[in-house]
Amino acid sequence: MATLIYKWLMLFWLLPGTAQEQAKEVHPFHVSTTEIQHNAAEKTLEISCRIFTDDFEDALRKVYKAKADFSAPAMKTAMDELVKKYVPAHLQLSIDGKAAAIKVLGWEKESEAVFVYMEVDNVPSVKKAEVVNTVLFDLFDDQMNLIHFFVNGNRKSVKLTYPEKTAAFAF
């Protein structure tokens, strides 16, 4: 009996598929989180976007046909360029009816996620905002993008599920 169980276990481990593919099955949800904070004193919007590292790397590879590895120190400059191209193409803001220019400040990898930090200058106040978020929509048809917007201590949140890409906020 033990031999039979052993053979079945060996068959399971010998099935096709890499460790990376098996690891992706562990995280079946495709979610990003974007936080937008109005800093009235500095007249800026401070933005952070949290994206699962493996999904983000896959999207960059697919969209730009380039090698993508957030863990490799030698790839830091290349990853900076890819992030600066990808995120503004997939995250747009308009404040009080005017398009806002998002400036990517940088990124950092923490555990299994990459945090991208951005800023919008010259935003004295926010009454209405529109956010278009298609992060990872080019990779997954079950992608969810959560957006949390903070103005004067008020938090408003929206969940966008593919193909829904636009959220409107009023403060």
Q: Extract the runs of DSSP E, i.e. beta strands, from 53-153.
A: 91-95, 98-100, 103-110, 113-120, 128-133, 144-151
Is the N-terminal amide bond of 28 cis, ω within 30° of 0? no
pTM: 0.83
**Digitized pLDDT (tens) for each residue of the chain, 171 residues in all:** 444 333 333 333 333 444 334 444 555 789 999 999 999 999 999 999 999 999 999 999 999 999 999 999 999 999 999 999 999 999 999 999 999 999 999 999 998 999 999 999 999 999 999 999 999 999 999 999 999 999 999 999 999 999 999 999 999
Q: Extract the runs of DSSP E, i.e. beta strands, from 53-102.
A: 91-95, 98-100
- Phi and psi, residue 67, nearest 5°: -70, 140
